[in-house]
Amino acid sequence: MKIDPAPMQPQDIYRLLTGIVVPRPIAWVTTLSAEGIINLAPFSCFTFVSSNPPMVGINVGLRSGEQKDTGRNILEQKTFVVNIGDDSMIEQIHLSAVAHPHNVSETTLLGLKTAPSDHIPVPRLADVPVSMECALRHDIAFGKSGSKFLVGEVLAFHIRDGLCTNNKIDTRELRPVCRIGGPNYASLGEIVSMSKVADVATGPSDRVEK
Ligand SMILES: Cc1cc2nc3c(=O)[nH]c(=O)nc-3n(C[C@H](O)[C@H](O)[C@H](O)COP(=O)(O)O)c2cc1C
């Protein structure tokens, strides 16, 4: 089967892409409004874009043509926290995507504890395995949807004790949540370990013909 995207509606292309680009990690983002309300929402269009300095990005779309609370708060306040939930938190992650008025805090509604950040006014979630304090460095619009890719420099990593040794996260202990197509999630499956790529013979000239 071949699909030509040219005549397709944007929502159908969205459905196709979100089924193809899987599994996606989830940035569980806390922000602060101008009135000091803590906002929380999940974003699975999320990746890291630089390690020097550390930078991560989320793509925040519009809702009925308006900025979502997260987008507005980040663009106004220039700071945000990317929290990483674990697979015991899937229901709260999902429910935090429900749209509420600007003055309603999802952390209060869902009974999630917050803790102060070290470098920015935006609080982080207290009971998640990882939180990253971020300062907005770039906001970039791609395409015609009005969504913006917001890139923040990580000013501090907060990592649960016992989860990280020599800067290596224990993935099994992290128990990451994966977003797949639609309102569907998955947890970590089998981990397959290979030799380091540098130790593997590469290219035809390295191969020994028998
Ligand atoms: C798991 C999950 C991932 C999501 N990822 C995104 C995303 O990458 N970009 C986006 O704009 N909306 C995404 N959404 C929808 C937002 O979370 C939703 O619009 C939310 O109400 C935004 O909240 P806010 O207005 O408080 O910012 C996602 C929803 C779920 C459940």
pLDDT tens digits, one per residue of 123-169: 999 999 999 999 999 999 999 999 999 999 999 999 999 999 999 99
Range of the domain at 164: 24-185
Residue 24 DSSP symbol? B
Q: What is the CA angle 42-151-41, rounded to 5?
A: 15
Please check whether residue 7 lies inside any domain of the structure. Answer: no
3-class SS shares of the chain: helix, strand, coil, % to 5 = 20, 35, 45
For 7-50, write each residue's pLDDT tens digit.
Answer: 999 999 999 999 999 999 999 999 999 999 999 999 999 999 99
Domain membership of residue 194 (yes or no) is no
The CATH number covering residue 56 comes to: 2.30.110.10
- Is the distance from the beta carbon of residue 68 to the nearest atom of ligand 1 less than 6 Å? yes
SS3 sequence, 74-87?
HHHHCEEEEEECEC
Domains contained in the chain, number: 1
> For the segment 70-125, what is each residue's pLDDT rounded down to a tens digit?
999 999 999 999 999 999 999 999 999 999 998 999 999 999 999 999 999 999 99
Q: What is the pLDDT of residue 196?
A: 87
Q: Does residue 208 fall inside a structural domain? A: no
pTM of the predicted model, to two decimals?
Answer: 0.95
- The verdict on the CB of residue 122 being under 6 Å from ligand 1 is no
Instruction: Report if residue 93 sits inside a domain.
Output: yes
Inter-residue contact 75 to 33 (CB < 8 Å): no
Residue 204 domain-assigned (yes or no): no
Residue 43 lies in a domain: yes
Residue 19 lies in a domain: no
Determine the atom of ligand 1 nearest the C-alpha atom of 68: 25
Q: Is residue 50 part of a domain?
A: yes
